[in-house]
Amino acid sequence: MSIKTYQLIDTHAHLDEVEDLDKAIGEAREAGVIAIIAVGQDYESNPKTLDIAEKYKDIVHPALGLHPWSLGKMDASKIDLTLKQIEDNIERTVGIGEIGLDYDKRVIAAADKERQKEAFKAVLELARRYSKPVSVHARYSWKDSFDLVKESGVKRAVFHWYTGFSSVLREIINEGYFISATPAGEYHDEHKRAIRETSLENLMLETDCPVTYGREIKYQAYPADIVRSLKSVAHIKSLAFFVVAAKTTENALRFFGLAEQVKKI
Ligand SMILES: [Zn+2]
């Protein structure tokens, strides 16, 4: 059975940063991708993400975001403008993301924890008000990120590329939230552990493209590399590819409310 026969969903991709989109999307279709969630991250990338989703309507579904990495270059009025931009376009989206907290010291130097939390809370409040799912970036901020999502009352959250503590992971799962697996599941110990400790019920797949992956051999990811995410989850959990594909795709369709829109082949 060829890998093409699987139907996969890339639940977190930065398509506005991919250079040759026609090629990337063509290859994704070849690899069995039936939907891509394109995430935005700030005032500039959000409208690009909407345009891409409009152009590749049958396969790309947009989420608009406010990424902690972008806060350093934004003043308060720009943050407010971005929140307004997200709200004005909310009906066109399938979710809100990429949003979150990043406690890496270089990120904190540009936007301290309080500024990050304030922006995160504001955008979570939009997600709650409009009942949208969120795609959360949590780096070295796992507990705070989880607590803020839970306190916000948001019902659907995915902690993408999760590499944090097992204790917080248990809370994420108990709350009915998700994590998503990237191609780093092939080699990254903390991410592998998180995948091992999460049942398929709470797992989705993603690429976070165009991120660069790999240890010895490095490569830039495209949505077609979702197949690497699939295979690494299957290996870690000793499950057949088709079992992982079916369940993670079902989860993603439900999570993003896409069951009606996405035609299964
Ligand atoms: Zn991302």
Ligand 1 center–CA 137 separation, angstroms? 7
Task: Give the residue carrying structure tokens 């891409």.
Answer: 52
Phi (first) and psi of residue 171, to 5 degrees: -65, -40
Ligand 1 center–CA 77 separation, angstroms? 24
What confidence category does residue 134 fall into, taking pLDDT thresholds of 50, 70 and 90?
very high
Task: Provide the β-strand partners of residue 178.
Answer: 158
Ligand 1 center–CA 97 separation, angstroms? 9
Ligand 1 center–CA 1 separation, angstroms? 31
Amino acid at 180: S
Residue 260 has pLDDT above 90, yes or no: no
Could you read off the pLDDT of 195-219 as tens digits, one per residue?
999 999 999 999 999 999 999 899 9
Ligand 1 center–CA 261 separation, angstroms? 24
> How many Å apart are CA 146 and CA 157, to the nearest integer?
9
Could you read off the pLDDT of 106-133 as tens digits, one per residue?
999 999 999 999 999 999 999 999 999 9
Return the pLDDT at 259. 86
> How many Å apart are CA 86 and CA 120, to the nearest integer?
13
Ligand 1 center–CA 103 separation, angstroms? 15
Ligand 1 center–CA 253 separation, angstroms? 19
Mean pLDDT for 69-77 is: 93
Q: Which helix (H) or strand (E) holds 168?
A: helix 166-174
Ligand 1 center–CA 264 separation, angstroms? 26
Mean pLDDT for 78-96 is: 98
Return the pLDDT at 1. 44
Ligand 1 center–CA 106 separation, angstroms? 17
Ligand 1 center–CA 208 separation, angstroms? 5
Could you read off the pLDDT of 225-247 as tens digits, one per residue?
999 999 999 999 999 999 999 99
Ligand 1 center–CA 71 separation, angstroms? 15
Ligand 1 center–CA 12 separation, angstroms? 6
Task: Give the residue carrying structure tokens 């699987």.
Answer: 6
Could you read off the pLDDT of 12-23 as tens digits, one per residue?
999 999 999 999
Ligand 1 center–CA 14 separation, angstroms? 6
Q: Which of 19, 135, 137 is nearest to 86 (CA)?
A: 135
